[in-house]
Amino acid sequence: MWALGSYAGDAGRLVRALKYGNVRGPVVALGSALAGLAVGSDPVAGFDVVTWVPTTVERRAQRGFDQAELLARSTARGLGVRSRRLLLRAPGPGQTSLPGRVRRSGPVLRARRVPSGARILLVDDVVTTGASLTTASDALLAAGARSVRSVVVAATPAPGWRPDGVGRSTARVAP
């Protein structure tokens, strides 16, 4: 899993503006950056399809869009591959409203019509515990994907993280 930056910095501000402020201007640039990050993190992998971790039905209705879907579709354009909705999310609360121990079990996701042997790039806006990405990857692999790689805009810093780069990190953040 690779992240463009820390949720504690500019990447986090972009995610919050997209999710809560309906600021969509940076989506094209973010998609291009995520595509570059995906290729740079595994240049020989190649991808057949790009998909996303879906938000809840309630959040999509409130916002009028799914921010991860916008990012994934833009990322797919940057890679020159198709994007498809390959995951369905069971009804329930969003991850941000749950306590940490409950978050770590991840949302209930089900894969749909995954192309057999597909190399999938999974896109999300932010990673906190990694549970959503793990649950999504597991569902895609169980449904027949050959491989799943993940990219996100922002990673929430782990306890002990410091902006000067000293300390631990939950993800490999691009320089």
Instruction: Provide the CATH number for the domain around residue 51.
Output: 3.40.50.2020
Inform me whether the pLDDT recorded for 91 exceeds 60: yes
- The CA distance from 139 to 73, in Å, is 20
* Token code pair at residue 118: 């597909």
Which DSSP letter does residue 96 get?
Answer: G
Please compute, for residue 151, the number of CA atoms within 13 A of its CA located in the half-sphere on the CB side.
Answer: 29
Query: Residue 95 has what DSSP assignment?
Result: G
Average pLDDT over residues 74-97: 84
Task: Quickly state the pLDDT bin for 167 (edges 50, 70, 90).
Answer: very low
- Mean pLDDT over each residue of the chain, to the nearest integer: 84
Largest pairwise CA distance in the chain: 44
Query: pLDDT tens, 21-72?
Result: 989 999 999 999 999 999 987 666 689 999 999 988 888 888 899 999 999 9
Q: In terms of residue numbers, what domain contains 68?
A: 2-95+104-173
If you average pLDDT over residues 78-96, what whole number do you get? Answer: 82
Domains contained in the chain, number = 1
For the segment 67-83, the average pLDDT, to the nearest whole number, is: 96
Task: Find where tokens 């198709």 sit.
Answer: 82
> The pTM is what?
0.83
Task: Name the residue with tokens 């921010």.
Answer: 67
Give the integer Cα–Cα distance in Å for 133 and 117. 19
pLDDT at 31: 95
Percent of the chain with pLDDT over 70: 78
Average pLDDT over residues 67-78: 96
Structural tokens at position 172? 């490999």
End-to-end CA distance of the chain: 14
